[in-house]
A and B are shown apart, each in its own frame.
Chain A
Amino acid sequence: MDWDFTAEQLEFQQRVRDFIAENNGPELATGISYVAGAGEDDLDLAAAQKIFRERLDAAGLLRICWPKEFGGQEASPMYEYIMRQELEAQGLEPRVGMTIISAAIGKYGTEEQKEEFLQGLLSREIRMCAGFSEPRGGSDLAGLETSAVRDGDEWVINGQKIYTTGAERADYMWCLARTDRNARKHEGISIFMVDMKSPGVTVRPLHTMGNYLTAEVFLDDVRVPHRHLIGEENRGWYLNTLSLDVERINIGAYSAFKRFLDAIVDFAKKPQPNGKPLAQDPLVRLRLGQLIVDIEMLRHLSNECVWLVMTGQVSAMVPSMAKVWSTELYYRMTSIAMQLMGPFGQLQKGSKWVMLDGEVELGYRNSPPMMFGGGANEIQRDIIASRGLGLPRSR
């Protein structure tokens, strides 16, 4: 059993580390760790990310997994995984690689769609939002009710989406809509690129307990040209699922978690006002010791997710396990850090006495949504039960 990267992968890892060492200046500072949810709506952050991507591109690192026709190398997703972990380890923005949407259009889009969208999506010049969840659907994505009806060379979309983060700044929505009401619920769904400037689109912001906005989006007789139907009609569910390989390499930000834990450990080692470090407290030691066990578990689950993608294996169970474990671990980490810091843990970034740059406070507020976003953890556990343990489907 070989647990290490290959020689080529280690060489690539070193290239990324060298890049970070040369480029990690204040102009690339993305604020508090992105894991804590910082900067989702920050236009300065978007500008910093643009500079960051340009430098990555100049260093030959941005297009590692891109298609060759766009200057990419079509390398294995493992390279993006390595780069992501290295960036996260330094608190840098890791969302620089392929996305589900660019991967899906690359795989299933028409030549016209690739020409129209792919370059902009890969470079993030085209900003997207994901039109998945709906108010009545709850955690059951396939229960979506938004409809699309063909009318000549156009589709007319009616319905609404909820928790559509980034809708107010998006150029397009990746919109799942029902195109055959008589089909079974996973069938009869199609995917559209909806121009957010189309008449009939309205965005209603929703403020979260974290410091970012999400939104409802109303779609009222929105007309979408047929050429913006992605892939085959009524096969949107499967198209979306098949593109999830890209998502799977992104599950579990263990490098970011390790960085956060290192900061907590440094804090615990420092003398408190009574002259003693918290690290001498047996209960604190037990909790911190448990956190590194949990992070190591996450590292193995994340590695297994990538290994499955690399070896062409399909497993719904392991990515579900990684999602449950990583989101609940972050909740545990921020809760423990909040308790260690006492009242100081509640101070926000910018406060005079803030500790760890406010990451604890922000992360604590943003950790609960992670447990139900991107497929609620209860749904993930149900998937583990049925596909991992072979239990019959629930009623």
Chain B
Amino acid sequence: MVKDPVCGKDVDDEKVDGGEALGVGGAPVTNPSFGTKRLHQGKWYYFCSMGCRQRFIGNPARYLESGEQA
């Protein structure tokens, strides 16, 4: 479990990373309600929602100072 650097909520990174089921084409498909993530400067950051991620993309430095993920 990690903290969303924008809103501070807990995000289950293992669930975001792990697919719930395999898609028709064979790729793991995750449940969107688990959250999302973003690769920033070589590291994945996890978010509770796309809204939080979008705010992070707009100004990553602001959120990394206070909400660096473990």
Contact = CB atoms under 8 A, between A and B. Distances in A.
Contacts of A136: 57
Contacts of B25: 127, 167-171, 196-197
Given A196-B23, A203-B19, A203-B23, A135 B29 contact: no
Contacts of A217: 27
A43 B23 CA distance: 12
Interface string B14-25: 001111000111
Interface stretch (B2-10, B30-38, B61-69): B30-38
A309 to B, nearest CB: 31
Contacts of A202: 17-19, 27-30
Which 5 pairs, one residue from A and one from B, show the smallest C-beta to C-beta distance? Answer: A168-B23, A169-B24, A197-B26, A196-B27, A170-B25
Contacts of B37: 160, 218
Interface residues of B, number: 22
Interface string A197-233: 1000111111100000000111010000000000000
18 contacts: A43-B24, A135-B38, A135-B54, A158-B42, A160-B37, A160-B38, A167-B23, A167-B27, A169-B24, A171-B26, A197-B26, A202-B30, A203-B29, A203-B30, A204-B29, A204-B32, A204-B36, A206-B32
Given A196-B25, A218-B37, 15 more contacts: A135-B57, A145-B39, A170-B23, A201-B27, A202-B18, A202-B19, A202-B30, A203-B23, A203-B27, A203-B29, A203-B30, A205-B29, A205-B32, A206-B32, A218-B17
A17 to B, nearest CB: 34
Interface of B: 16-19, 23-30, 32, 36-39, 42, 44, 53-54, 57
A388 interface: no
A214 to B, nearest CB: 11
Contacts of B42: 158
B43 to A, nearest CB: 10
A301 to B, nearest CB: 35
B36 A216 contact: yes
A375 B39 CA distance: 24
A168 B24 contact: yes
Given A135-B53, A203-B19, A220-B44, A197 B27 contact: yes
A159 interface: yes
A136 B16 CA distance: 20
A168 B29 contact: yes
A158 B41 CA distance: 11
A43 B25 CA distance: 12
A80 B26 CA distance: 32
Interface centre among B23, B27, B37, B42 (most CB of A within 10 A): B27
Contacts of B44: 220
Interface in A129-170: 135-136, 145, 158-160, 167-170
Interface in A345-379: none
B48 to A, nearest CB: 13
A160 B39 CA distance: 7
Interface in A69-104: none
A193 B64 CA distance: 34
Nearest to B37: A218
